[in-house]
Amino acid sequence: MKAITLEQYGGPDELRVTERPEPKVAPGEVLIRVRAAGVNPVDWKLAAGRLDAMMEVRWPLIPGWDVAGVVEAVGLDVPEFAVGDEVMGYARKDMVQLGTYAEYVAASVRMLARKPAAMSWEEAAGLPLAGLTALQALDRVRAGEGDTVLVHAAAGGVGSLAVQIAVARGARVIGTAGEHNHEFLRGLGAEPVAYGDGLVERVREAAPGGVDAVLDFVGGTADVSREVVSQVERVASIVDPGTAEWGGHYVWVRPDSAGLTELANLADAGRLKVHVERVLPLEEAAEAWRLNQTGRTRGKIVLSVG
């Protein structure tokens, strides 16, 4: 099969298009013919060696954890799926090597859900990691109906999904973003406020009684979050591990089939959309990484595979 690989830790310039054997399919797994693979910052951070202290990596490495595709084969004891099913998944394995930047990937059923009928392959491939991150952060701070939720970096890939999920749950959402993204946030159902000096005052003006929960998707927001939230235990960050030291939560997303199914149901109900900023062919994975590394894309970057 065709795949994108690295032979050692490195950056976009080290990515190569190579031929690799098709993955074996273990019990409880399915083989997926990949139609699209989502690109996430963790892909190139892992490839650069930034997660070496915590994750076992084998070479050559095929990057990628987000996938949307068609079930090509099923392993032993897999009643959940059949050949021909359209699925999406957050295919993060305990040992990192055989990722989703390839024509085929094997994944456990605990990492998968049926692809939303309302979404294209590219949209579905951009949903799992970012969508589960948003969902699990909201769950951690118990955000729901009647809450006022502050979302830092609300126009980003994770933030824009968190806004939509929170709105679907009946929450009021205040989202921080640059002014050029304010109309985008209004379209998602959020009330935008600008970044920068005076943010505490702007949030207090929007919510004089404070906010019930805060989600940090950018980092560097701890002082603001503690100033405006009613209870610090209802603050969650995916960027700042120190959040847990003062009573909040540090969230590292986990594969979860039930969570993916919840996201799919929201998408099929018209309550959740993925904004795909760019779609590039698999062979241009290096360019996809360079774009992702700028941190300036509004939505998702996705690789089209087949």
pLDDT at 298: 74
pLDDT at 58: 97
Q: What does pTM read for this prediction? A: 0.97
Three-state DSSP string of 119-134: CCHHHHHCCHHHHHHH
CB 123: neighbour CB atoms within 10 A? 25
pLDDT at 121: 98
Query: Tens of pLDDT along 231-242?
Result: 999 999 999 999
What domains lie within the chain, and their CATH numbers?
A: 2-127+274-304 (3.90.180.10), 131-250 (3.40.50.720)
pLDDT at 35: 98
The values of phi and psi at residue 159, to 5°, are -60, -40
d(CA 166, CA 37): 26
Count Cα atoms within 13 angstroms, Cβ side, for 78.
Answer: 24
d(CA 115, CA 135): 17
Ranges in the chain, pLDDT < 50: none
